[in-house]
Amino acid sequence: MVRIGYMICVTILGTIAVSIFGKKNPMKKTTLSLALFAALGLTACNSDNQTTHTTIQPSASVNQSFERFSDAFISQYWAHYPEASSYAGYGKYDDIITIPTAQTRTKNNAFATAQLATLHKFDVNTLTANQKTDYYLIENRLKLSLWHNNTFKSWQWNPSNYNVSGGFALLLNNRFKSTDEKLALVLNRLKFVPEYYQAAQNNIENPTLEFTQLAIQQNKGAFSVLKDDLLETVNNSNLSPEEKALFKSRFADAKTAIHGYVDFLTQLEKELADNNSARSFRIGEALYEQKFAFDIQSGYTAKQMYHKALADKERVTGEMVKLTNQLWPKYFPNTEKPSNKRDAISQLIKHLSVKHVAKEEFVDEISKQIPALEAFVVEKDLITLDADKPLVVRKTPEYMRGYAMASISSPGPYESKGNTFYNVEPMSEMDDATAGSFLREYNHWILQILNIHEAIPGHYTQLVYANKSPSLIKSVFSNGAMVEGWAVYTERMMLEEGYGDFEPEMWLMYYKWNLRVICNTILDYAIHVEGLSKEGGLDLLMNGAFQEKAEAQGKWRRATLSQVQLTSYYSGYREIYDLREAQKEKLGSDFDLKAFHEEFLSFGSSPVKYINELMN
């Protein structure tokens, strides 16, 4: 996934970004969590920081000791992972790029091992409910760091892990620093770029072809950030003549390093293709189950969730059959309905999907729909919205393209007043056939559901609340399944509350959209564990989930560029919806939907199973 802010991913382009969908991800993503993910396996501060134990003060209460430990841990964590701190808006290490060498990984391992030893001195049963959640989140993050470095080792086979663009873009787009301040930070950051890419090149060993191609595309996008216009800004700045000269020199060296990495990967891509020697993108059952446990933090195994998804696929298809029977006479009054139920559903969906915006109006239409969603949420009093947190719809920056159709980039917990960006992949470079396929997929009804998911009251709203969480740990170490699950939950919740006036066409398209969430889980597991072929994957998506060819091809590509993340939507949604229904049954007439939403989001981006404990 693409790494910028809190990047969230949902769908992906056929050519191969952070949730239209999807770096980002995104995922998630995208997402600060994505930046943290990358940092876990790749970086540790290349300054003179020492790995230390955060000591527990025996004279203080357990709760106070744990709070001190948490605060000290976060400070030390940022020192070891400065890029991740930038995505969180911390600011102290914005001018640092860590060099991804073996020495760096050794430092990271020592840091994680030492912090785990300190953490385990606490008896988790003596902590408050809120602190227990933080305990488990810290523990999971540190164990994940060790697993990424020593077991998963994507630093060897995923060249797209290496890209300096995001950090520079964060600096240059910062609204709270002057131009001179930003340029001074960029100046220092530039000096690390050549060594960074040399270390990256040294790390690459038997990569996957798919990640190699993505790395080429996205690193070429770096020049949309480090462009020559920046030198004109430097010339007009208040930097000293010596600083201006140094900036130009380092700028040239940085661009040369990026070109060198792209050239290296281009040659490597040719060798991998010619020799058919690329590593398989499929990670296998053992690694998949381990990654699922770390990333999703569910009460289920990956295999159990896969079988739940298979059952839900049949249930949702049954609902679509009922709606097709209801709508058929309206749209095909003189045509006999096909005896094959899936054929009938498919024919009706194709007929309805021609209602969509023009290719040139796609981004503008998304902007127009946001106020209507805000008005509905306010009218129904579903959740309190923060008018001071702007949402900016924009075309996806070039260095983030090639992974997802749409995504959200949110400010971190230290910069909660920053802009949240709704990134939309432009269709200007698509041929008419590909654009037409995407537009039919994101038709009149589904585009509205997409905006619920990405914007209001989905990702955008949840991430605003996450930055208000009293627990910095929960804001920083966000759980992707909760983040994606909330966005999926809001789609159904909005329709249940009357968005779309209970129109059967809207519900049919919702179920189609929900089916893709379910099939995300089925597809991802089947590809990485069961060896599902591309033909089988496209058949599942196009014939089993009624997706357009371009969307299905994009999702296949995304599954080759990620593992487990595609399961986060369904896993989180199922747990959130079940929690809400349990609360309704428990509270009866005292249940208040708005209160449920705001209490649920108040715990930050925690795993749903821990939020369940906190709410009960």
Backbone angles phi, psi at 571, to 5 degrees: -60, -50
3-state secondary structure of 408: strand
Average of per-residue pLDDT across 425-452: 92
Of all helices (H) and strands (E), which one includes residue 395? strand 391-395
Backbone angles phi, psi at 361, to 5 degrees: -105, 5
Confidence at 403, pLDDT banded by 50, 70, 90: low
> Does residue 365 lie in a domain region?
no
Query: What count of Cα atoms within 13 Å lies in the side-chain half-sphere of residue 139?
Result: 15
Please give the single-letter amino acid code of residue 516.
Answer: R
Average of per-residue pLDDT across 170-178: 87
Share of residues in the chain with pLDDT > 70 (%)? 90
Q: Note whether 11 and 123 are same-domain residues.
A: yes
Q: Note whether 193 and 249 are same-domain residues.
A: yes
- The total of other beta-carbon atoms located within 10 Å of residue 263's CB is 11
Kindly tell me if the per-residue pLDDT of 523 is higher than 60. yes
Q: Note whether 115 and 173 are same-domain residues.
A: no
CA 377/CA 197 separation, integer angstroms: 47
Q: Which residue has the higher pLDDT, 6 or 575?
A: 575
**Cβ 488 vs Cβ 453: under 8 Å:** yes
Structural domain for 245, as ranges: 162-207+209-275
CA 189/CA 476 separation, integer angstroms: 23
> Does residue 563 lie in a domain region?
no
Q: Note whether 73 and 125 are same-domain residues.
A: yes
Q: How far is CA 1 from the centre of its chain?
A: 6
Confidence at 520, pLDDT banded by 50, 70, 90: very high
pLDDT tens, position by position, 261-293:
999 999 999 999 999 999 999 999 999 999 999
Confidence at 5, pLDDT banded by 50, 70, 90: very low
> Does residue 606 lie in a domain region?
no
> Does residue 233 lie in a domain region?
yes
> DSSP letter string over 321-332?
HHHHHHHHHHH-
Task: Output the 3-class SS for 573-590.
Answer: HHHHHHHHHHHHHHHHHH
Q: Note whether 192 and 240 are same-domain residues.
A: yes
> Does residue 555 lie in a domain region?
no
- Tokens 């240059």 correspond to 172
Confidence at 470, pLDDT banded by 50, 70, 90: confident
Q: Which residues contact 391 (CB under 8 A, 6 or more apart)?
A: 370, 419, 420, 421, 422, 455, 456, 460
> Taking phi first (over 0 means left), then psi (-120 to 50 degrees means alpha), and beta for anything else, what does residue 31 get?
left
Q: Which residue has the higher pLDDT, 172 or 6?
A: 172
Q: Which of 115-119, 139-143, 172-176 has the lowest mean pLDDT?
A: 172-176
**Cβ 449 vs Cβ 515: under 8 Å:** no
Q: What is the DSSP letter of 405?
A: S
CA 273/CA 282 separation, integer angstroms: 17
Neighbour order of strands in the sheet with 391-395:
30-31, 6-9, 406-409, 420-424, 391-395
Average of per-residue pLDDT across 302-330: 97
CA 185/CA 424 separation, integer angstroms: 29
Q: In degrees, to the nearest 5, what angle opens at C-alpha 65 toward C-alphas 61 and 66?
A: 120
Q: Which two tokens stand for residue 421?
A: 């960006």
pLDDT tens, position by position, 38-81:
444 444 344 444 444 454 443 358 999 999 999 999 999 999 99
Q: Note whether 125 and 191 are same-domain residues.
A: no
Q: Note whether 121 and 258 are same-domain residues.
A: no
> Does residue 611 lie in a domain region?
no
Kindly tell me if the per-residue pLDDT of 230 is higher than 80. yes
Residue length of the chain: 616
> Does residue 309 lie in a domain region?
no
Q: What is the DSSP letter of 150?
A: I
**Cβ 391 vs Cβ 422: under 8 Å:** yes
Task: Output the 3-class SS for 95-120.
Answer: CCCCCCCHHHHHHHHHHHHHHHHHHC
* Of the residues 275, 306, 323, the one at which a domain ends: 275
Q: Which two tokens stand for residue 184?
A: 């001074």
Q: Note whether 166 and 221 are same-domain residues.
A: yes
CA 284/CA 510 separation, integer angstroms: 32
Kindly tell me if the per-residue pLDDT of 551 is higher than 60. yes
pLDDT score of 130: 85
pLDDT score of 598: 96
pLDDT score of 10: 31
Average of per-residue pLDDT across 556-576: 95
Residues forming a β-bridge with 391: 420
CA 124/CA 563 separation, integer angstroms: 31
Query: What count of Cα atoms within 13 Å lies in the side-chain half-sphere of residue 123?
Result: 4
Q: Note whether 123 and 13 are same-domain residues.
A: yes
The burial class, CB within 10 Å (0-12 / 13-18 / 19+), for 52 is middle
Share of residues in the chain with pLDDT > 90 (%)? 74
Q: Note whether 139 and 166 are same-domain residues.
A: no
Average of per-residue pLDDT across 187-216: 98
Candidates 380, 506, 489, 496; CA nearest to 447 is 506
CA–CA distances in Å: residue 147 to residues 84, 140, 295, 464: 18, 10, 12, 30
Q: Which residue has the higher pLDDT, 504 or 426?
A: 504
**Cβ 391 vs Cβ 367: under 8 Å:** no
3-state secondary structure of 444: helix
* Of the residues 129, 159, 189, the one at which a domain ends: 159
Average of per-residue pLDDT across 391-397: 89
The structure's pTM equals: 0.82
Candidates 554, 568, 489, 483; CA nearest to 525 is 568
CA 493/CA 380 separation, integer angstroms: 12
Confidence at 405, pLDDT banded by 50, 70, 90: confident
- The total of other beta-carbon atoms located within 10 Å of residue 176's CB is 11
> Does residue 227 lie in a domain region?
yes
pLDDT score of 416: 67
Q: Note whether 170 and 89 are same-domain residues.
A: no
Q: Which residues contact 261 (CB under 8 A, 6 or more apart)?
A: 162, 197, 200, 201, 219
Q: Note whether 113 and 220 are same-domain residues.
A: no
Of all helices (H) and strands (E), which one includes residue 310? helix 302-331
Mean pLDDT of the chain: 89
Kindly tell me if the per-residue pLDDT of 602 is higher than 80. yes
Q: Which two tokens stand for residue 372?
A: 């209507």
pLDDT score of 476: 87
| Number of domains into which the chain is organized | 2
Q: Which two tokens stand for residue 160?
A: 């797209």
Query: What count of Cα atoms within 13 Å lies in the side-chain half-sphere of residue 598?
Result: 11
CA 292/CA 457 separation, integer angstroms: 27
* Of the residues 231, 256, 275, the one at which a domain ends: 275
> DSSP letter string over 28-61?
--EEHHHHHHHHHHH----SS---------TTS-
* Distance from the first to the final alpha carbon of the chain: 34
